Amino acid sequence: MAHDGCSGSFENGKQVVDKIRMMGFADQLMPMPMEITCVECNDSFTMSEFEGKCPKCNMVYGVTPCHAFDAKNIMAAGINY
């Protein structure tokens, strides 16, 4: 699969998480940690890696390295995805 650089668009969080796992970025640190509010339980937590998980309800989140500078690009993939 070709790397499409920063032009890749994703329809949902599962696609984002699959992509960062495939590319080996899931457990790498983001350029800057981001405080996000969970879409499932409304708890807030700090996401510091490209793949994160809400500590309260286990909703998994992902963001690609190219888009990790804006919290609105972080997408939910599902509980324990």
Q: What is the CA radius of gyration of the chain?
A: 12
Q: What is the pLDDT of residue 6?
A: 75
pLDDT band at 2 (very low <50, low <70, confident <90, very high): very low
Q: How far apart are CA 80 and CA 5, in angstroms?
A: 27
**Structure pTM?**
0.91
Q: Phi then psi for 66, rounded to 5 degrees?
A: -65, -25
pLDDT in tens, 6-57: 777 889 999 999 999 999 999 999 999 999 999 999 999 999 999 999 999 9
Which tokens in the block code for residue 43? 């708890």
